[in-house]
Structure 1
Amino acid sequence: MLKKLKVWAVATRAETLVASISPMIIGTFLASKEVKLNYLVLALTYLYGICLHIGTNLSNDYYDYLKGVDTDDRIAPFSTIQRNLTSLKQIKIAFSLSFLFAFFIGLFLIIQGGIITASLFVFPIIFGYYYTAGKNPLGYMGLGEILVLVFFGPYACLGTYYLQTLKISYLPIIASLGPGFLSVAILVINNLRDIDLDKIGAKITLAVRFGEKFAKAEYVASLTLAFLVPFIYFMLLRKPLVLAANVFIFFAPFKLIYSFKNPKLLNEGLKKTVLLLIIYTIVFSSAL
């Protein structure tokens, strides 16, 4: 049983779930300053986000494998499909169930939040599936960064905030740009590491389209923009403690990204950037 759980933890890439949870945490803290939290709605909101993210991860592995992007030359850790730990059929059933659970949870949340909630919770399922599915997958067209920024930033944060307060505010949109840009940085490292295989598989990420130098600059730009957010928030609300989140930019693996000789080294940069996102979220949320 434990072995099966470990296999599915690998298959779902559980360590990446921090990207969807981080903006929801910030949205939760912002909402708690204004209203008494509805914990049932809050739990379902998080469950929706987790199911959506898991469904997206599984469908990505499924369709990348079918499209020939994931080969034995893959630098990233092999998927459970490649290691014969799970079958294509199992992965398809798993991502279908994940999206289905997200859909039904979303229906309940729509009842809670009304028509605005419908737009917040239906579109992510569609975009999550078509990120790698279909004849013209969004992730193969260089749209990954903008989708990650939107859905792992304002969408997740504002959705969480709105379901508690039932109002729209600019504050969760601004506050969520920090984790949004850090999630973009994570994607950029992923695309930089996989640039050669993506070229072969006709996966036209921005790294493939514009080259390695562009991807490195994009990583630095993403982190820089993420760490500008606390300054903007400070200027708006005069909360000096949010500036503490900026200290952790010095832990970013800039040198590794710019001087790597072996793409496998970028796996370490990926882990460090994920850790940076976790620390940033904890410090920023605590200071709100």
Structure 2
Amino acid sequence: MSQNKPRQQRMAPPMARGPRGGRSGRPGAAAAAVKPATTADWIAGARLRTLPLAVAPVLIGVGAAKVAEGPGVWHPIRSLLCLAVAVLLQIAVNYANDYSDGVRGTDQYRVGPGRLTGSGKAAPRTVLTVALTFFALAAVAGVILVILTQHWWVLLIGAAAIAAAWFYTGGKRPYGYYGLGEVFVFIFFGLVATVGTTYMLSGTVNQESWYGGVIAGLIACAVLMVNNIRDIEPDRQARKRTLAVLLGRVASRIVFCVLLLVPFVILGVLAVFYPLAWFGMFALLAAIPACIITLFGRSPRELVTALQLTSITGLLVGIALGVAYAF
């Protein structure tokens, strides 16, 4: 059993890559071949394509708060602070994953876009510092929000969210390596982000926020699933047992489609009471191609496209449902 544990290890200097992206295997070539990370590399490291996962639940939560408080009541400052917490935490998670997977050696097997740590473009300590900076910024925005609302107990939820974000791939026993990543994503980037936004704005929680949180959480899980489907073989080699690895190629692709399409069933039910929610069905124009690509695509590039379409789906549904609730 102990042989299957992911081991924390020092980063070995990456071998230089040839003109076709293969490893040259020449000792000492890496230092000359790998250039320091540029501004574009750091922006790419933030993984902007995942930010809709942070924006969508906040939009839904703001709309649900409007349902709770009635017409004419808006909280722009608190809404922006909720958005800042969600976005900063998402970026922090992305950099933290880059650091943890890099020092663990997991990214040696990676087939997707390169990482800052794993590629050797940035020192592990630098990536860790950037991750901690974004965690700190998210915490500051959260503390200001708590001061404004006087809901002091919410600080415990914030601390739990930061801890869960770090231990996803960090620490001695990262739960993301044991098929539990989707659980974290559903709870914190679905339920907590949506319901928490509604509570911080209105001081109450309603069923609209819970339904919206389930929708946002399922789509966020779909994004993680398709990302991990792309990396099934590399993750197996790295002993990273994501849910996609545990389920296998066929079952994980089916589960992805379920995660992505079930929210539209819930959205259809909500549209009976909030007619503007029907506009969210236009997001199927992105969701259905994402399902088709994931079911039949084979190359990493195809699955990256599916990931992007899934993120767009989440944002479109979040906008439609938030507007439907608010107006």
Q: Compute the TM-score of the two structures, normalised by the length of structure 2.
A: 0.81
1:116 Cα deviation from its structure 2 partner:
4.2
1:172 Cα deviation from its structure 2 partner:
0.5
In the alignment, is the contact (CA less than 8 A) between 1:195 and 1:207 conserved in 2? yes
User: Percent of pairs identical after alignment?
Assistant: 25
1:156 Cα deviation from its structure 2 partner:
0.5
Match of 1:87 in 2: 123
In the alignment, is the contact (CA less than 8 A) between 1:25 and 1:285 conserved in 2? yes
In the alignment, is the contact (CA less than 8 A) between 1:153 and 1:173 conserved in 2? no
Match of 1:104 in 2: 140
1:125 Cα deviation from its structure 2 partner:
0.5
Deviations 1:209-256 (A, max 9, x none): 121111111111101221112123235xx2223133234324322221
Larger deviation: 198-207 or 251-260? Answer: 251-260
- CA 1:283–1:41 in 2, change beyond 3 Å: closer, same or farther? closer
Larger Rg: 2
Say whether residues 1:249 and 2:270 are aligned partners.
no
Q: Say which SS state the counterpart of residue 153 (structure 1) adopts.
A: helix
Match of 1:154 in 2: 191
Match of 1:62 in 2: 99
Match of 1:139 in 2: 176
Match of 1:227 in 2: 264
For structure 2, list consecutive stretches of 5 or more residues without a partner in the other structure: 1-36
1:78 is matched with which residue: 111, 114, 124? 114
Note the 1:148-187 alignment, pairs <5 A.
148-187=185-224
For structure 1, list consecutive stretches of 5 or more residues without a partner in the other structure: none
Runs of 4 or more, structure 1, over 3 Å off, are 82-85
Aligned residues: 283
- CA 1:113–1:166 in 2, change beyond 3 Å: closer, same or farther? farther
- Aligned equivalents of 1:186, 1:218: Cα separation in 2: 12
- Aligned equivalents of 1:214, 1:151: Cα separation in 2: 25
Match of 1:19 in 2: 53
C-alpha RMSD over aligned residues? 1.9
1:205 Cα deviation from its structure 2 partner:
0.8
In the alignment, is the contact (CA less than 8 A) between 1:132 and 1:140 conserved in 2? yes
Q: Say which SS state the counterpart of residue 173 (structure 2) adopts.
A: coil
1:282 Cα deviation from its structure 2 partner:
2.1
Larger deviation: 58-67 or 98-107? Answer: 98-107
Say whether residues 1:9 and 2:43 are aligned partners.
yes
In the alignment, is the contact (CA less than 8 A) between 1:141 and 1:204 conserved in 2? yes
- CA 1:260–1:89 in 2, change beyond 3 Å: closer, same or farther? same
Report the residue type matching 2:134 in the other structure: S
In the alignment, is the contact (CA less than 8 A) between 2:103 and 2:118 conserved in 1? no
Report the residue type matching 1:156 in the other structure: A
Match of 2:300 in 1: 263
1:91 Cα deviation from its structure 2 partner:
0.6
1:280 Cα deviation from its structure 2 partner:
1.9
- CA 1:261–1:97 in 2, change beyond 3 Å: closer, same or farther? closer
- CA 1:38–1:284 in 2, change beyond 3 Å: closer, same or farther? closer
In the alignment, is the contact (CA less than 8 A) between 1:241 and 1:287 conserved in 2? yes
Report the residue type matching 2:142 in the other structure: G
Note the 1:201-216 alignment, pairs <5 A.
201-216=238-253
1:25 Cα deviation from its structure 2 partner:
0.9
Q: Compute the TM-score of the two structures, normalised by the length of structure 1.
A: 0.91
